[in-house]
Structure 1
Amino acid sequence: MGATSIHVQAVKPGSEIHNFREKELDYVRPELSHLNESWVGDSISHRLESAKQRYFDTVGQKMQTKAAPIREGVIVIKQETTMQELQQFAAVCKERFGIEAFQIHIHKDEGYMNAKQWTPNLHAHVVFDWTQPNGK
Structure 2
Amino acid sequence: MDRSSDFTGTSGALYTCSLCGHRWVSRKDDGIPKSCPKCRSTVWMKEYLRCVCLRCGHKWGTARGRPKRCPRCHSVRWDIPDTEAHASGGTSLSRKEKDDVAGLYESGMGCTEISIETGIPFSDVYAALRAKFPGAIIRI
**What is the TM-score with the length of structure 1 in the denominator?**
0.20
**Which of 1 and 2 has greater Rg?**
2
Higher RCO structure (Cα 8 Å, ≥6 apart): 1
Q: Could you say which structure has the higher strand fraction? A: 1
